[in-house]
Amino acid sequence: MSISSDPAALYPDIVACGSLATALRAGAEGRLGGVPAASSDYAPLHHATVASTLPHREPLQIRASSQERQWSIRGTEPFQGLALIDGGTDDLAQVAEAARAWHDGESLDGIRRAAPFVHLTGRFEVPDNDPARLAESEWQSMRQEAAELEYVWKETHQALIEAAYAEPALRALYPFTSHWALRFSTSTRPRLTVVGPFVAANSDGTFGVGMGSSDADLGRFATAHEALAVGVSQLPSGLGPITVGA
């Protein structure tokens, strides 16, 4: 695989077309057909977008690497700006397949079938921005992310996420992470309302519970269940349903 920062060396075909969007429309064996693609003014060789016919999908972002001949994609929903799909490939025809499926409103599974390089983040689409469904989608993504981790402490982090999901009082909240610490909110993104302590999985296999800057304000524990029990005990009483964090 070639390594270079020179666009002419990495992408002579794109340079010849003048922009990534033009290359997508002109090449890829016509896979995009009449689907509109646009390139940015500041980086036309390295960036393009393809809009979707669905209003609850942002335009698919397509970026070319400046170090090697490869393209990455990111497809987000507009309310929270979170990724539904991503992925990378050195096959521009595959990028066009993904872009066409995204534009045409194919299901997320259908997009991956059309372009196998596509990675599903675990989130699902919530067109009406129902806060309970957004929380459920975020839990699903977080559980998938934990299962896919390659870090040394993957098992402890995954144990933390799964134990938290199994706790009804926590599953009813909106989850998010900050520096790998699990936190909770009574509202969705984009404006979170943080509630209770955070719980962190440590590299030594322990689990810390904190309220401030330390992950041991409320102690360190041998199991995720012990740590989360303390976390639940610190939740305010009378928490209502999750709200939209607008």
Residue 238 resides in a domain? no
Looking at 100, 120, 140, which one is the last position of a domain?
Answer: 120
Query: Strands (DSSP E) along the chain, which ranges?
Result: 37-39, 47-50, 60-64, 71-76, 83-89, 119-120, 174-178, 181-185, 198-201, 207-210, 220-221
Q: Are residues 156 and 182 in the same domain?
A: yes
Instruction: Among 77, 92, 120, identify where a domain stops.
Output: 120
Q: Is residue 41 pLDDT above 50, yes or no?
A: yes
Whether 239 maps to a domain, the answer reads no
CB burial readout 85-97, b (16+ within 10 A) else e: bbbebeebebbbb
pTM greater than 0.85: yes
User: What's the pLDDT tens digit per position in 85-144?
Assistant: 999 999 999 999 999 999 999 999 999 999 999 999 999 999 999 999 999 999 999 999
- Residue 53 buriedness (CB in 10 A; 0-12 / 13-18 / 19+): exposed
Residues 80 and 144 in one domain: no
Asked whether residue 126 is domain-assigned, the answer is no
Task: Give the pLDDT of residue 1.
Answer: 42
pLDDT on residue 68: 93
Q: Which residue has tokens 């700006």?
A: 81
Look at residue 32 and tell me if it is in a domain.
Answer: yes
* Whole-angstrom distance, CA of residue 60 vs CA of residue 20: 13
CB contact at 8 A, 90 and 76 = no
pLDDT at 215: 61
Residue 204 forms part of a structural domain: yes
> Do 144 and 205 fall within a single domain?
yes
Say which amino acid occupies 55.
P
Domain with 203, as residue range(s), is 131-233
If asked whether residues 29 and 97 sit together in one domain, one would say yes
Backbone angles phi, psi at 59, to 5 degrees: -55, 140
Does 41 map to a domain? yes
Same domain, 154 and 220: yes
Note whether 136 and 113 are same-domain residues: no
d(CA 44, CA 245): 35
Whole-number Å distance between alpha carbons of 90 and 47: 15
- Average pLDDT for 31-37: 83
- Among 120, 153, 184, the domain boundary falls at 120
Residues 144 and 63 in one domain: no
pLDDT at residue 4 is higher than 70: no
Residues 111 and 22 in one domain: yes
Residues 181 and 218 in one domain: yes
CA distances from 96 to 12, 26, 29, 101 (A): 18, 11, 9, 9
96: Cβ contacts below 8 Å, ≥ 6 apart? 24, 27, 28, 31, 32
Number of domains in the chain: 2
Q: How far, in Å, CA of 138 to CA of 121, rounded?
A: 10
Residue 244 lies in a domain: no
46-70 pLDDT, tens per residue?
999 999 999 999 999 999 999 999 9
Report yes or no on 13 lying in a domain: yes
pLDDT of 188 above 50? yes
Q: Is the pLDDT of residue 228 over 60?
A: yes
Reply yes or no on whether the pLDDT at 12 is more than 50.
yes
- Token pair of 47 as six digits: 């960036």
Q: Is the domain of 54 the same as that of 146?
A: no
Residues 144 and 224 in one domain: yes
